Amino acid sequence: MTATRRNPPDDRTVLITGCGSGIGRATARQFARQGWTVYATDLRPELLAPLADECETAELDVTDEEQCEAVVERVADEEGGIDCLVNNAGYGVLGAVGDVSTEQAREQFDVLVHGPHRLARAVLPKMHDQCGGTIINVTSLLGRVTFPGLGVYGSAKFALEGLTDALRMETAPEIDVVAVEPGWVRTEFDETAREQFDAIDASPEFADVYELHEEGPFLDGGPLAVDPEEVAEEILCAASSSSPKSRYPVGVARWLVFLRFLPDSLQDKGRWAIGKLGTELRRLGLL
Protein backbone atom coordinates (compact mmCIF):
# COMPACT_ATOMS: atom_id res chain seq x y z
CA MET A 1 0.00 0.00 0.00
CA THR A 2 1.38 3.43 -0.99
CA ALA A 3 1.89 5.97 1.78
CA THR A 4 -0.60 8.84 2.03
CA ARG A 5 0.67 12.09 0.53
CA ARG A 6 1.56 14.96 2.85
CA ASN A 7 -0.43 17.52 0.80
CA PRO A 8 -3.71 17.51 -1.15
CA PRO A 9 -3.43 17.53 -4.98
CA ASP A 10 -3.72 21.33 -5.24
CA ASP A 11 -0.97 22.00 -2.70
CA ARG A 12 2.01 19.92 -3.78
CA THR A 13 5.60 20.91 -4.45
CA VAL A 14 7.90 19.49 -7.11
CA LEU A 15 11.60 20.03 -7.81
CA ILE A 16 12.59 19.43 -11.46
CA THR A 17 16.09 19.43 -12.96
CA GLY A 18 17.09 20.27 -16.52
CA CYS A 19 14.27 22.76 -17.17
CA GLY A 20 16.18 24.97 -19.60
CA SER A 21 14.60 23.27 -22.61
CA GLY A 22 12.87 20.16 -23.90
CA ILE A 23 11.35 17.66 -21.50
CA GLY A 24 12.25 19.62 -18.38
CA ARG A 25 10.65 22.87 -19.55
CA ALA A 26 7.50 21.06 -20.75
CA THR A 27 7.28 19.19 -17.45
CA ALA A 28 7.60 22.35 -15.37
CA ARG A 29 4.76 23.93 -17.31
CA GLN A 30 2.54 20.85 -17.02
CA PHE A 31 2.95 20.73 -13.24
CA ALA A 32 2.45 24.49 -12.81
CA ARG A 33 -0.76 24.46 -14.83
CA GLN A 34 -2.10 21.67 -12.63
CA GLY A 35 -1.62 23.80 -9.54
CA TRP A 36 1.67 22.41 -8.24
CA THR A 37 4.30 24.71 -6.78
CA VAL A 38 7.19 24.14 -9.16
CA TYR A 39 10.88 24.71 -8.54
CA ALA A 40 12.40 24.64 -12.02
CA THR A 41 16.19 24.32 -12.11
CA ASP A 42 18.93 24.20 -14.70
CA LEU A 43 22.70 24.43 -14.98
CA ARG A 44 22.16 27.57 -17.13
CA PRO A 45 19.76 29.78 -15.14
CA GLU A 46 19.34 32.23 -18.02
CA LEU A 47 17.38 29.53 -19.87
CA LEU A 48 14.75 29.49 -17.12
CA ALA A 49 13.44 32.99 -17.95
CA PRO A 50 10.43 31.65 -19.95
CA LEU A 51 9.27 29.80 -16.80
CA ALA A 52 9.65 32.67 -14.34
CA ASP A 53 5.96 33.66 -14.43
CA GLU A 54 4.79 30.12 -13.60
CA CYS A 55 7.58 28.65 -11.47
CA GLU A 56 10.19 29.35 -8.87
CA THR A 57 13.57 29.06 -10.55
CA ALA A 58 17.08 28.23 -9.38
CA GLU A 59 20.50 27.44 -10.78
CA LEU A 60 21.43 23.82 -10.16
CA ASP A 61 24.47 21.87 -11.29
CA VAL A 62 23.60 18.25 -10.46
CA THR A 63 27.31 17.40 -10.25
CA ASP A 64 27.72 19.83 -7.31
CA GLU A 65 26.70 18.07 -4.09
CA GLU A 66 26.59 21.22 -1.99
CA GLN A 67 24.39 22.96 -4.53
CA CYS A 68 22.04 19.96 -4.69
CA GLU A 69 21.67 19.99 -0.92
CA ALA A 70 21.18 23.77 -0.83
CA VAL A 71 18.40 23.74 -3.43
CA VAL A 72 16.57 20.93 -1.64
CA GLU A 73 16.90 22.82 1.66
CA ARG A 74 15.50 25.96 0.03
CA VAL A 75 12.45 24.10 -1.26
CA ALA A 76 11.83 22.39 2.08
CA ASP A 77 12.25 25.64 4.03
CA GLU A 78 9.98 27.68 1.76
CA GLU A 79 7.27 25.07 1.22
CA GLY A 80 7.45 22.97 4.37
CA GLY A 81 8.49 19.85 2.46
CA ILE A 82 8.86 18.38 -1.01
CA ASP A 83 6.36 16.03 -2.59
CA CYS A 84 8.12 15.10 -5.81
CA LEU A 85 11.62 15.12 -7.30
CA VAL A 86 11.99 14.80 -11.08
CA ASN A 87 15.54 13.92 -12.12
CA ASN A 88 15.57 14.99 -15.75
CA ALA A 89 18.86 16.83 -16.33
CA GLY A 90 21.12 15.20 -18.89
CA TYR A 91 22.92 15.21 -22.19
CA GLY A 92 24.28 12.56 -24.53
CA VAL A 93 27.80 11.55 -25.53
CA LEU A 94 27.95 10.28 -29.11
CA GLY A 95 30.79 7.98 -30.09
CA ALA A 96 31.93 4.39 -30.35
CA VAL A 97 32.85 3.05 -26.91
CA GLY A 98 36.45 2.61 -28.06
CA ASP A 99 36.67 6.30 -29.04
CA VAL A 100 35.05 7.92 -26.00
CA SER A 101 37.65 8.97 -23.43
CA THR A 102 37.48 7.86 -19.82
CA GLU A 103 36.99 11.48 -18.77
CA GLN A 104 34.03 11.92 -21.12
CA ALA A 105 32.48 8.72 -19.80
CA ARG A 106 33.06 9.82 -16.21
CA GLU A 107 31.37 13.17 -16.86
CA GLN A 108 28.43 11.41 -18.52
CA PHE A 109 27.91 9.18 -15.49
CA ASP A 110 28.34 12.13 -13.12
CA VAL A 111 25.34 13.89 -14.66
CA LEU A 112 23.09 10.95 -15.51
CA VAL A 113 23.72 8.65 -12.53
CA HIS A 114 25.51 10.46 -9.71
CA GLY A 115 23.34 13.58 -10.14
CA PRO A 116 20.06 11.73 -9.46
CA HIS A 117 21.79 9.87 -6.63
CA ARG A 118 22.90 13.16 -5.02
CA LEU A 119 19.42 14.62 -5.21
CA ALA A 120 17.74 11.44 -4.01
CA ARG A 121 20.02 11.43 -0.96
CA ALA A 122 19.10 15.05 -0.30
CA VAL A 123 15.31 14.63 -0.58
CA LEU A 124 14.91 11.25 1.11
CA PRO A 125 15.15 12.58 4.70
CA LYS A 126 12.50 15.20 3.86
CA MET A 127 10.18 12.62 2.36
CA HIS A 128 10.67 10.24 5.27
CA ASP A 129 9.82 13.04 7.70
CA GLN A 130 6.58 13.82 5.85
CA CYS A 131 5.73 10.10 5.41
CA GLY A 132 5.58 10.10 1.63
CA GLY A 133 6.77 11.43 -1.70
CA THR A 134 7.67 10.47 -5.23
CA ILE A 135 11.04 10.33 -6.98
CA ILE A 136 10.84 10.18 -10.77
CA ASN A 137 13.96 9.39 -12.78
CA VAL A 138 13.77 10.19 -16.48
CA THR A 139 15.68 7.25 -17.91
CA SER A 140 15.41 6.21 -21.56
CA LEU A 141 14.63 3.45 -24.00
CA LEU A 142 18.44 3.36 -24.25
CA GLY A 143 18.53 2.33 -20.60
CA ARG A 144 17.06 -1.00 -21.63
CA VAL A 145 18.01 -1.39 -25.33
CA THR A 146 21.19 0.34 -26.48
CA PHE A 147 22.50 1.05 -29.99
CA PRO A 148 25.90 1.46 -31.70
CA GLY A 149 27.49 4.83 -31.07
CA LEU A 150 25.46 5.47 -27.94
CA GLY A 151 27.10 2.95 -25.64
CA VAL A 152 28.35 5.37 -23.00
CA TYR A 153 25.04 7.25 -22.81
CA GLY A 154 23.13 3.95 -22.83
CA SER A 155 25.29 2.42 -20.11
CA ALA A 156 24.65 5.45 -17.89
CA LYS A 157 20.91 5.10 -18.45
CA PHE A 158 21.16 1.34 -17.73
CA ALA A 159 22.83 2.28 -14.44
CA LEU A 160 20.07 4.78 -13.66
CA GLU A 161 17.47 2.06 -14.29
CA GLY A 162 19.26 -0.16 -11.76
CA LEU A 163 19.51 2.67 -9.25
CA THR A 164 15.79 3.34 -9.68
CA ASP A 165 14.85 -0.30 -9.14
CA ALA A 166 16.94 -0.63 -5.98
CA LEU A 167 15.69 2.65 -4.54
CA ARG A 168 12.07 1.66 -5.25
CA MET A 169 12.46 -1.55 -3.25
CA GLU A 170 14.35 0.15 -0.42
CA THR A 171 11.85 2.96 0.14
CA ALA A 172 8.51 1.20 -0.50
CA PRO A 173 5.77 1.60 0.54
CA GLU A 174 6.41 5.03 2.03
CA ILE A 175 8.07 6.60 -1.02
CA ASP A 176 7.28 5.87 -4.66
CA VAL A 177 10.19 5.64 -7.11
CA VAL A 178 9.41 5.64 -10.81
CA ALA A 179 11.28 5.40 -14.13
CA VAL A 180 9.87 7.34 -17.08
CA GLU A 181 11.42 5.87 -20.24
CA PRO A 182 11.14 7.99 -23.39
CA GLY A 183 12.16 6.78 -26.79
CA TRP A 184 13.10 9.53 -29.23
CA VAL A 185 11.85 13.00 -28.31
CA ARG A 186 11.89 16.24 -30.34
CA THR A 187 14.40 18.15 -28.22
CA GLU A 188 17.91 19.54 -28.56
CA PHE A 189 19.39 16.16 -27.53
CA ASP A 190 20.71 15.33 -31.01
CA GLU A 191 22.28 18.78 -31.46
CA THR A 192 24.00 18.57 -28.07
CA ALA A 193 25.23 15.04 -28.79
CA ARG A 194 26.71 16.17 -32.10
CA GLU A 195 28.48 19.02 -30.30
CA GLN A 196 29.95 16.48 -27.88
CA PHE A 197 31.06 14.45 -30.88
CA ASP A 198 33.40 17.28 -31.90
CA ALA A 199 35.62 16.27 -28.95
CA ILE A 200 35.79 12.63 -30.10
CA ASP A 201 38.82 11.36 -32.01
CA ALA A 202 36.84 9.15 -34.38
CA SER A 203 38.66 6.00 -35.44
CA PRO A 204 38.30 4.73 -39.03
CA GLU A 205 37.60 1.25 -37.63
CA PHE A 206 34.21 2.56 -36.47
CA ALA A 207 33.26 4.33 -39.70
CA ASP A 208 30.08 2.26 -40.02
CA VAL A 209 28.99 3.42 -36.56
CA TYR A 210 29.44 7.09 -37.41
CA GLU A 211 27.71 6.71 -40.76
CA LEU A 212 24.55 5.69 -38.91
CA HIS A 213 24.62 8.94 -36.94
CA GLU A 214 25.83 11.30 -39.63
CA GLU A 215 23.16 10.40 -42.16
CA GLY A 216 20.51 8.41 -40.32
CA PRO A 217 17.78 9.11 -37.76
CA PHE A 218 19.42 7.30 -34.84
CA LEU A 219 19.78 10.52 -32.84
CA ASP A 220 16.63 12.47 -33.68
CA GLY A 221 14.29 9.53 -34.27
CA GLY A 222 12.75 10.99 -37.41
CA PRO A 223 8.98 10.35 -37.51
CA LEU A 224 9.25 8.07 -34.45
CA ALA A 225 10.05 11.02 -32.18
CA VAL A 226 7.36 12.45 -29.89
CA ASP A 227 6.92 15.95 -28.52
CA PRO A 228 8.36 16.65 -25.05
CA GLU A 229 4.83 17.42 -23.83
CA GLU A 230 3.95 13.74 -24.23
CA VAL A 231 6.78 12.78 -21.86
CA ALA A 232 5.74 15.55 -19.47
CA GLU A 233 2.21 14.14 -19.34
CA GLU A 234 3.53 10.75 -18.24
CA ILE A 235 5.73 12.36 -15.59
CA LEU A 236 2.77 14.31 -14.23
CA CYS A 237 0.63 11.16 -14.30
CA ALA A 238 3.20 9.26 -12.23
CA ALA A 239 3.59 12.12 -9.75
CA SER A 240 -0.17 12.53 -9.32
CA SER A 241 -0.96 8.86 -8.80
CA SER A 242 -1.45 7.41 -5.33
CA SER A 243 -0.10 4.12 -6.67
CA PRO A 244 2.12 4.79 -9.70
CA LYS A 245 3.52 2.13 -11.97
CA SER A 246 7.22 1.39 -11.66
CA ARG A 247 7.85 2.26 -15.33
CA TYR A 248 6.23 4.57 -17.85
CA PRO A 249 7.58 3.94 -21.38
CA VAL A 250 6.83 6.78 -23.81
CA GLY A 251 6.52 6.75 -27.59
CA VAL A 252 8.47 4.12 -29.49
CA ALA A 253 9.85 2.77 -26.20
CA ARG A 254 6.48 1.07 -25.66
CA TRP A 255 7.28 -1.53 -28.30
CA LEU A 256 10.98 -1.28 -29.19
CA VAL A 257 11.92 -2.36 -25.66
CA PHE A 258 10.70 -5.86 -26.52
CA LEU A 259 13.81 -6.29 -28.69
CA ARG A 260 15.65 -7.19 -25.50
CA PHE A 261 13.74 -10.47 -25.22
CA LEU A 262 15.27 -11.75 -28.47
CA PRO A 263 18.54 -13.73 -28.50
CA ASP A 264 21.54 -11.40 -28.44
CA SER A 265 22.62 -12.34 -31.95
CA LEU A 266 19.21 -11.36 -33.34
CA GLN A 267 19.17 -8.19 -31.25
CA ASP A 268 22.51 -7.10 -32.66
CA LYS A 269 21.46 -7.74 -36.25
CA GLY A 270 18.10 -6.09 -35.67
CA ARG A 271 19.56 -2.88 -34.27
CA TRP A 272 22.04 -2.55 -37.13
CA ALA A 273 19.21 -3.25 -39.57
CA ILE A 274 17.01 -0.56 -38.02
CA GLY A 275 19.84 1.97 -38.25
CA LYS A 276 20.76 1.13 -41.84
CA LEU A 277 17.14 1.17 -42.98
CA GLY A 278 16.66 4.58 -41.41
CA THR A 279 19.82 5.87 -43.07
CA GLU A 280 18.73 4.66 -46.49
CA LEU A 281 15.20 6.08 -46.11
CA ARG A 282 16.65 9.45 -45.11
CA ARG A 283 18.99 9.43 -48.12
CA LEU A 284 15.95 8.85 -50.32
CA GLY A 285 14.12 11.74 -48.68
CA LEU A 286 11.50 9.47 -47.13
CA LEU A 287 12.34 10.43 -43.51
Is 153 annotated as catalytic? Answer: yes
Measured CA to CA, the distance from residue 68 to residue 242 in angstroms comes to 27
Residue among 39, 91, 153, 248 flagged as catalytic? 153
Given CA atoms 89, 17, 179, 217 in this order, what sign does their dihedral have? negative
Measured CA to CA, the distance from residue 139 to residue 144 in angstroms comes to 9
Measured CA to CA, the distance from residue 151 to residue 95 in angstroms comes to 8
In 3D, which of 8, 55, 52, 5 has the Cα closest to residue 32? 55
Q: Which residues are catalytic?
A: 153
